[in-house]
Chains A and B, each alone.
Chain A
Amino acid sequence: MTATHPPRRRFLRTLVAGMLALPLVLGACGGDDSGDDGKTELSFFWWGGEARAELTEKALALYTAKHPDVTFKKTWQANQGYFDKLATLTAGDDAPDIFQIDDNFLAEYATRNVTLDLTSYQTAGTLDTSKFPEGLWKYGVVDGKLAGVAFGENTQGLVFNKSKLDAAKQPLPETGMSWEDFIAWAGKAGAATKLAGTMDPSADYKAFWVWLRQQGKEMYNGNELGFTQADVQAWFELWKGARDAKATPTADVIHEGNATDITKQLVVTNKALTSWVWANQMPELQKNTQDELGLVAYPGDASKQWPRASMYFSVFRGSEHKDIAVDVINFLANDPEAGKLLGTDRGLPSNTEIRAAVAASTDNASMKQTIATIDELSKNYGPSPSVPPRGHSTVRSELIKAAEEAQYGRATPAKAAEQFFAASQAAVSR
Chain B
Amino acid sequence: MSPVAVTQAPPSPAPPPAGPAATRRRGRPARPKTDGVAGYVFLSPWLLGFAAITAIPMLMSLYLSFTNYDVLSDWSATEWVGLDNYRQMMTEDPSFWHAVRVTITFALVATPLKLAAALGVALLLNRSFRAGGLFRGLFYLPSLLGGSVAVAIVWVSMFNQDGAFNSFLGWFGITGKAWVNDPDYALGTLILLAVWQFGAPMVIFLAGLKQVPAELYEAASVDGAGPVRQFFNVTLPILSPVIFFNLVLETINGFQGFTSAFVLSGGTGGPVDSTLMYTLHLYNKGFTEYQMGYASAMAWVFLLSIGLVTALIFRTGKFWVHYSDGED
Contacts and interface: CB of A to CB of B under 8 A. Distances in A.
Interface in B210-268: 266, 268
A188 interface: no
Given A17-B38, A256-B181, A401 B270 contact: yes
Interface string B45-79: 10011001000000000000000001111100100
B72 A112 contact: yes
Interface stretch (A282-290, A291-299, A343-351, A392-400): A392-400
A132 interface: no
A381 interface: no
A255 B270 contact: yes
Contact of A87 (B13, B72, B77, B270): B72
Contacts of A358: none
B271 A108 contact: no
Interface in B127-159: none
Nearest to B74: A113
B55 to A, nearest CB: 16
Main secondary structure of the interface of B (DSSP, over half): loop
Contact of A397 (B41, B70, B77, B268): B268
A201 B113 CA distance: 39
B161 A112 contact: no
A386 to B, nearest CB: 20
Contact of A21 (B13, B41, B291): B41
Interface in A240-257: 251-253, 255-256
Given A87-B287, A393-B289, A404-B272, A255 B38 contact: no
Interface residues of B, number: 39
A252 B41 contact: no
A404 B70 contact: no
Q: How large is the interface on A (under 10, 10 to 19, 20 to 34, 35 or more residues)?
A: 35 or more
B161 A252 contact: yes
Interface string B72-95: 111001000000000000000000
A24 B47 CA distance: 11
B177 interface: yes
Contacts of A391: 289
A21 B48 contact: yes
A114 B45 contact: no
A84 B287 contact: yes
A253 B273 CA distance: 17
Interface in B15-40: 31, 34-35, 37-38
Contacts of B73: 112-113
Contacts of A251: 181
A253 B77 CA distance: 44
Contacts of A91: 71-72
Contacts of B44: 17-18, 20-21, 24
B178 A252 contact: yes
B272 A405 contact: yes
B72 A90 contact: yes
Contacts of B8: none
Given A17-B42, A24-B45, A113-B74, A6 B13 contact: yes
B270 A404 contact: yes
Nearest to A411: B272
Chain A interface helix/strand/loop/mixed: helix
A15 to B, nearest CB: 9
Interface string A1-18: 000001000100110011
A167 interface: no
B14 interface: yes
A259 interface: yes
A408 B71 CA distance: 36
Contacts of B160: 256
Contacts of B71: 87-88, 90-91
Contacts of B288: 83, 393-394, 397
A252 B175 CA distance: 14
Given A14-B41, A87-B287, A408 B270 contact: no
Contacts of A393: 288-289
A410 interface: yes
Given A20-B45, A252-B178, A408 B38 contact: no
Interface string A305-320: 0000000000000000
B48 A24 contact: yes
A25 interface: yes
Contacts of B271: 252, 255, 404, 408
Interface string A102-141: 0000001100111000000000000000000000000000
Contact of B266 (A17, A88, A259): A259
B161 to A, nearest CB: 7
Given A21-B45, A112-B73, A252-B178, A10 B272 contact: no
A401 B272 contact: yes
B183 interface: yes
B37 A14 contact: yes
B30 to A, nearest CB: 13
A393 B44 CA distance: 44
Contact of A400 (B49, B181, B270): B270
Nearest to B31: A6
B178 to A, nearest CB: 4
B302 interface: no
B126 to A, nearest CB: 42
B34 A252 contact: no
A18 B41 contact: yes
Nearest to B291: A430
B269 to A, nearest CB: 9
B268 A10 contact: no
Interface of A: 6, 10, 13-14, 17-18, 20-21, 24-25, 28, 83-84, 87-88, 90-91, 108-109, 112-114, 251-253, 255-256, 258-261, 391, 393-394, 397, 400-401, 404-405, 408, 410, 427, 430
29 contacts: A6-B14, A10-B38, A13-B42, A14-B38, A17-B38, A20-B42, A21-B44, A24-B49, A25-B48, A87-B287, A90-B71, A91-B72, A109-B72, A112-B74, A112-B77, A252-B178, A255-B178, A255-B270, A255-B271, A256-B178, A394-B288, A397-B284, A397-B288, A400-B270, A401-B268, A404-B272, A405-B272, A408-B183, A408-B271
Interface of B: 13-14, 31, 34-35, 37-38, 41-42, 44-45, 48-49, 52, 70-74, 77, 160-161, 177-178, 181-183, 266, 268, 270-273, 284, 287-291
